[in-house]
Amino acid sequence: MQLKGAFFAAFIALALTVPFAVGATPLAGPAQNSGTATPSATLPSMSSLQGLTVQEVRFPDLSAKEQEHMRALVPIKAGGALSREAVRQCMEALYATRRFADISAQAERTATGNVALIFVTRPNYFVGAVNVEGNPNRPNANQITNASKLQLGEVFTAEKLDRALRNIKQIMQENGFYKSNVTATPKYELESQQVFISFLIQPGDQATVGAVKITGKPGFSAGQVQDIAKMHSGDLVTVARVSNALDRLRKKFVKQDRLLAQVAIADRTFRPDKNVVDFTFSFEPGPKVQILTEGYKVGRSVLKRNVPVYEENAVDEDLLNEGRRNLLNYMQGLGFFEAKVGIIKREVNGGDEFHVVYVIDPGPRHKLVKIQISGNNYFSEELLRSRMQVQSAGRLFSHGRYNQGLLNDDVRGLEDLYRANGFQQVKITSNVIDDYGGQEKALAIVVHINEGPQSLVGALHIVGNTLIAQDQFPPLNTEVGQPFSQTNIAQDRDILLKFYFNRGFPNAVFEASAKPSSDQPDRVDVTFTLREGEEFFVDQVLVSGMEHTQPFVVQREVQVKAGDPLSQIDLLQTQQNLYDLGIFSQVETAVENPEGSEPQKDVLVRVQEAKRYTFQYGVGLEFQTGQPAVGTNQPQGETGVSPRVSFDVTRLNFRGRNHTVTFKSHVGRLQQRALISYNAPAWFNSKSWRLSITSFYDNTLDVTTFTSQRLEGSVQAEQTVSRSTTMDYRFTYRKVKASNVEISPDQVPLLSRPVRVGIPGFSYIRDKRDNPLESTKGSYNTIDGGVASSYFGSEADFSRLLVQNSTYHQVGKTRPNNRKLVIARSTRLGLETVFGNTLILPPGQPCPTPGATTCVTPTVIPLPERFFMGGGNSHRGFGLNQAGPRDPTTGFPLGGASLFLNNIELRLPPVTLPFFQDNLSFAIFHDMGNVFTSNTDMLHSFAHWRQPNPDLCKAAATRAACSYNYISQAIGVGLRYKTPIGPVRFDFGYNLNPPAFPSCQTNPNSRNPLPTSSCPSSSPFFLPQQLSHFNVFFSIGQTF
Amino acid sequence: MRWNQPNSILLAAVVAIAFLPAHAAEMIDRIVASVNAHIILQSDWDDEVCFEAFSAGRPLEQMAAFDRKAALDHLIDQELLREQVHGSDLPPAPDSDVADRVREIRKAYPQAATDDGWQSLLAHYGLNEQNLESRLRLQLQLMRLVDARLRPSVQIDSKSIESYYNRELLPQLRQAGNQSVALSDVSPKIKELLTQQKVNELLVGWLQNLRSGSNIHFVGATGTAENLLQ
């Protein structure tokens, strides 16, 4: 290659050479031999054909359709004259399509004395897919595919295949497979001009580490190096092992403060006879580096925090300068506004140590007590202040934040802000006043703004858009009558070019010009000039890689259609949609032959199916005291071992669709549980419908207490009505049997209590919140209803309706968005009504007739189906589910048929604190509401703010009359710490009016040491109680 | 059925006529290489060989395979530099410079003293005045590009000039039996010569960079320039 270049260089230099007395070489004389004039040329002269009429143009290697297409493309037409230049233009046009690897032109005399022009072509092939077989775990198939550097849709050449094979071989060697054999099998498909390349990997045995040698002066022996690097003879050679070895060795030097140490692998030699690799590490430890300060004492922790060489384990100019800037900021934060920080580097101890000294000249200490802004009319002072880096003394900076550089930057930033809003003549001056107000070392800054006139857009002309009408453009920032702004124009440029790009115009060009309006002062006429360039369209969409997936499942997600403009955003959306199906491990989209000149482009969609079956299994032992001892006389149970086996199967791509079937199970002596679910998004081929069917079986032996068998099944159809509105239609059946109950039935967890419910229902969800995790504005409404009836297998007949309305409002218009207060409120109303022979009975009343003690057991709403309230996500004046009516005997909450809850919360903006930065915020809340036995009780309770006659609850004789019909109120404060998954929440609630309630205990207590006849004999000791005023909650996510 | 001899001859003749084209197609051009999106045709290559033979004053039949390969390399290098010209705002070479070059070349050929002799000479090499001027214009343009791009980065100090004077020029003059010349007299010319040498070195590196960053493809049996020559 160098020879070629040199030859041509000499050729040019020959012409460059000026006439020179010495060494000038004139052009050689002409050849005296006047033999044949033809060079060793390979083409016959065209002179005999030049000017002949072209009778026809043929492309013998192409289909009839393609021939027609190419005839339209070439400049020579039948009837035209043949010329060398015309043939060249034809070949250039054909080559520009990039569809041909080789083109030659032939001429054939016809019987009529004319000529037929024939273009013989050899097609190019484009990469359609790359498959890898036989690869080991590492490198995996994707790593090998990436290493091949064969891009989907690009022209495939022999050189690229050679490069791919070399790269794959290299990655195999890096992973220790030196004896690997890699072969490639390209499969060509003429019709689509695609080539599908399969790489077959025969990895062979993985090499092991042979000898580990060292060069340089590491200060360690070869054995120590092996130990530090954790790389010994016989270890398998892997990429991770080698890179980890280097990391460990570097860290070793860093621990010695040798931050400039250089560790590298100088050589790796493969010995095929033993299949081992000998490594040679080179070391250059460098000096010990110490970071010091002079002129002002800075603690080591401050230094470590501000000088990034410790974090990066490296010393270079950039890091040292960053450290200098950080220290300067640190000093300014302390009030040393005129501080100067310099760097001195010096070698000591004969070069064994290297000192980096930050020389700090703190200068006098000031306090910035005031920043005054004047002359601003268009922007508020708050907004301007929020744009400034200079800050007066406050919470974060006890002395304020200032230096002349920052102030200059702020002035420039404010001027830019004004100019961006049409104030082209804005002038901002700043003045720093020392000893402000007679206070020594107090600074004040006065910023004066002379806004000048505001230029508005007089007229907006858009020219050059010949293919897309202006009314189809997206909304632009530049508008007539609005401030003239270069920022807006720059944004409009992006908007329009993006719009064109996504409409198939990748080469669109935008130019903007502005001139003063001729008839209106202070107005500017703006002209956008567009050069659209050629529009590209989708010819056909070629999908490959599907093995089990039904084609329609993919086609449904493909956003690019034949004939549509070639849109980049549609390609990305297609890729996103296909990934969202969850059945493909890799999705690639590409334009075939992107560099070809033809405006019709094929789009390639290549998918790789994920493994359809995922198995998870586990075997274990549970050691537990109190093993169930049902049927024995050991109430404490026994200590023992319970084996536990779990087995889960997930089947993706069920029936070739993006449907998923999941089976989960675990079996032990304590619990046997199985779940089967079927999930079908895009039900009935509609993206707005989703079907899920779940069945669940659970057999639990709770420790020493009870056995429950739970069978639950649900069918749910979810309909996405609009972006914010969702409807759920469902049928749920749950049957729970409890047996061997050794405790009071009230103590059994809700979902383990005996019940049989069959309930069809629906949910309406309208979510217009700006952010579900951290809502600051918008609303959230839900309506959830259902009817349980014996007709559906339910043991009780009742209907259920729960309505929630939540709204969020920002307060403080002038504050920046992240400093605004948020008022959040939520109201929940729940109603259950009974029909048929189902009844609602007051707590403790066993029979429909008040006072009766014996009757046929009435049908009531099962306990798990009632409303409960209390806890961090509902009423924070109660513990979990502790609100509402209670059993007069046990004191346990019974839930109710009505619910009312109102929450109001004032969410304060984040407080900027050291360490926490601006992630911490506070909230003040007020919760009120309760759960009621019946709807009537709720209506009558709204006027009651205290528990009616709590003394009735405190006496054993009147405990049955204890009423909970009032609105319980709680106030409190909350702490929020922002995390990516929502705020971590700590709430402290104070219940203003907690209820009193009766309870009968099994053991005597100090207040009632003697049994009470009105309590049952199993728990004869009466103990009235009152819920606590204080409740503390810790959870993740906002309350509502 | 038994074929008699006349029938066989007739059938053979019919078959021969049927399968024999009236006139066989002959190749009139083909792609030999591509440089990025630009193609180099066989006819371009042949022309370049002729032009280089003409420039070097060599008979065409003396242009060997090596010369043909070199000519193809020159075409590729020209294209790479031409792409650079398109990306620059360099003005085209003026007509006067082109005319000077034509005159310079014409002077070198004794038989070109007359117009007829000149035309005959050009025709001998498959050239005419128009395409000669066109080639020279391109060449001048490329030289201007190289000069503008590389010359500013070349610095020749007085030590280098003195060194060349003592080690190269004086020995050459002595060998040729010429009188020595003063350093001050030839210093500007030595500086120019050394500058050109340095420019040439830089150009070699630049072309290598351009080639490595370009998509150069030889179109032929196996896709190499050597194979194209076979």
Name chain B contacts of A595, Cβ cutoff 8 Å.
37
Which DSSP category does A236 fall into?
Answer: B
Task: Encode pLDDT of B150-164 as tens digits.
Answer: 999 999 999 999 999
pLDDT at A24 over 80: no
Q: Which of B39, B73, B126 sits opposite A8 (nearest CB)?
A: B73
Cα of A50 to nearest chain B Cα, Å? 10
Task: Identify the CA nearest to A450 among candidates A482, A428, A434, A472.
Answer: A428
Rounded to an integer, what distance in angstroms lies between the CA atom of residue B67 and that of residue A680?
A: 71
Token pair belonging to A229: 């690097």
Distances (CA, A) of A656 to A368, A456, A548, A680: 69, 60, 5, 12
Task: Encode pLDDT of A926-984 as tens digits.
Answer: 999 999 999 999 999 998 999 999 999 998 888 888 999 999 999 999 999 988 888 89
Provide mean pLDDT across the span A545-556: 93
What is the reported pLDDT for A32? 33
Token pair belonging to A860: 């009531």
Interface list for A 59-118 with B (CB within 8 A):
84, 87-88, 91-92, 95-96, 101-111, 116, 118
Residue B165 has phi, psi (to 5 degrees) of -60, -50
pLDDT band of residue A752 (cuts 50, 70, 90) is: low
3-state secondary structure of B46: helix
What is the reported pLDDT for A593? 93
pLDDT band of residue A814 (cuts 50, 70, 90) is: low
Provide mean pLDDT across the span A895-923: 89
Q: Which residue of A has its CA nearest to B65?
A: A40
Q: Which residue of B has its CA nearest to A118?
A: B25
pTM beyond 0.80: the answer is no
Please judge whether A27 and B142 are an interchain contact, meaning their C-beta atoms are less than 8 angstroms apart. no
Mean pLDDT of chain A: 88
Q: Which of A12, A39, A107 sits opposite B28 (nearest CB)?
A: A107
Q: Which residue of B has its CA nearest to A82?
A: B28
pLDDT at B220 over 80: no
Task: Identify the CA nearest to A689 among candidates A730, A732, A731, A728.
Answer: A728
Cα of B6 to nearest chain A Cα, Å? 29
Task: Encode pLDDT of A433-464 as tens digits.
Answer: 989 989 888 999 999 999 999 999 999 999 99
What is the reported pLDDT for A6? 37
Mean pLDDT of chain B: 86
Task: Identify the CA nearest to A343 among candidates A300, A310, A307.
Answer: A307
The residue to which tokens 């669940």 are assigned: A696
Please judge whether A13 and B192 are an interchain contact, meaning their C-beta atoms are less than 8 angstroms apart. no
What is the reported pLDDT for A632? 45
Token pair belonging to A290: 């110490």
Rounded to an integer, what distance in angstroms lies between the CA atom of residue A648 and that of residue A620?
A: 15
Provide mean pLDDT across the span A733-761: 72
Rounded to an integer, what distance in angstroms lies between the CA atom of residue B78 and that of residue B40?
A: 11
Token pair belonging to A1038: 């906002």
Task: Encode pLDDT of A649-686 as tens digits.
Answer: 999 999 999 999 999 999 988 788 999 999 999 888 88
pLDDT at B227 over 80: no
Name chain B contacts of A93, Cβ cutoff 8 Å.
none
What is the reported pLDDT for A1002? 82
ipTM value, please give it: 0.84
pLDDT at A37 over 60: no
Report the share of chain B in percent with pLDDT over 90. Answer: 69
Residue A769 has phi, psi (to 5 degrees) of -80, 150
Token pair belonging to A937: 């009780």
What is the reported pLDDT for A745? 56
Cα of B141 to nearest chain A Cα, Å? 11
Rounded to an integer, what distance in angstroms lies between the CA atom of residue B172 and that of residue B187?
A: 16
pLDDT at A14 over 90: no
Rounded to an integer, what distance in angstroms lies between the CA atom of residue A987 and that of residue A975?
A: 6
- More confident: A9 or A932: A932
Report the share of chain A in percent with pLDDT over 90. Answer: 66
pLDDT band of residue A38 (cuts 50, 70, 90) is: very low
Query: For residues A830 and A867, is the Cβ–Cβ distance under 8 A?
Result: yes
Query: For residues A223 and A212, is the Cβ–Cβ distance under 8 A?
Result: no
Task: Encode pLDDT of A600-623 as tens digits.
Answer: 999 999 999 999 999 999 998 766
Rounded to an integer, what distance in angstroms lies between the CA atom of residue A256 and that of residue A290?
A: 11
Name chain A contacts of B200, Cβ cutoff 8 Å.
6, 9-10, 12-13
Peptide bond into A749 cis (omega under 30): no
pLDDT at A771 over 70: yes
Query: For residues A971 and A992, is the Cβ–Cβ distance under 8 A?
Result: yes
Name chain B contacts of A16, Cβ cutoff 8 Å.
143, 146-147, 196, 199
Rounded to an integer, what distance in angstroms lies between the CA atom of residue A832 and that of residue B45?
A: 93
Please judge whether A105 and B27 are an interchain contact, meaning their C-beta atoms are less than 8 angstroms apart. yes
Cα of B62 to nearest chain A Cα, Å? 9
